[in-house]
Amino acid sequence: MTSPAPRPRRRATALAGLVLGVLLAVTASPAFAHDELIGTDPAAGTTVETLPASLTLTFSGVLLTDAGATEVSVLDSSCTPLADGAPVVDGTRVTQALSGEATGAVTVLWRTVSSDSHPISGEFAFLVGDDGADATCEAANAPRGDGSTFDATPLLIGGGVIVVGAGILAAVLLARRRPSRED
């Protein structure tokens, strides 16, 4: 008959299980690197003398070019649309032609589908003229389209808790395991 394992060995086994659980939680997490808007022309928050003929949005990854995958709405401070035609997608850039007259705040609302098939959206504003007006179109603050986005944070936290919990449980079970009587 063999004697039970010494306590330091049990502690080492429990610690190894805990470390394994933490490593699984860290490496099993999905990537957070979705494409994002990295630049605009005109730049967000800047002032231009006159409404440009077009605006450009630059993203961190190539965008899908399927019909309806990219939408750009450009509104002056009285909610008058300024976009002229459909946006043109070329790799990581979206160009939207503009027409009309605008003075004051111009709000740009955009929605597109990134290369990883996730819809992304946002808005920004720039000023036209030097009158200092900064009131934006009220419609820009209203919900638009389905506008829903998937927030994976609760799932990641829950998954991490489950994986760490499973690691701790495995460590406890390994530490409590008794040697077999076959020896």
Specify the pTM.
0.60
Output 149 or 159, whichever has higher pLDDT.
159
**pLDDT, tens digit, for every residue of 94-135?**
999 999 988 899 999 999 998 888 899 999 999 998 765 656
- Give the per-residue pLDDT at 143: 41
Output 13 or 104, whichever has higher pLDDT.
104
**pLDDT, tens digit, for every residue of 65-96?**
888 899 999 999 899 999 999 999 999 999 99
**Rounded Cα–Cα distance for residues 33 and 60 (Å):** 10
Q: Per-residue confidence at 150, pLDDT binned at 50, 70, 90?
A: very low
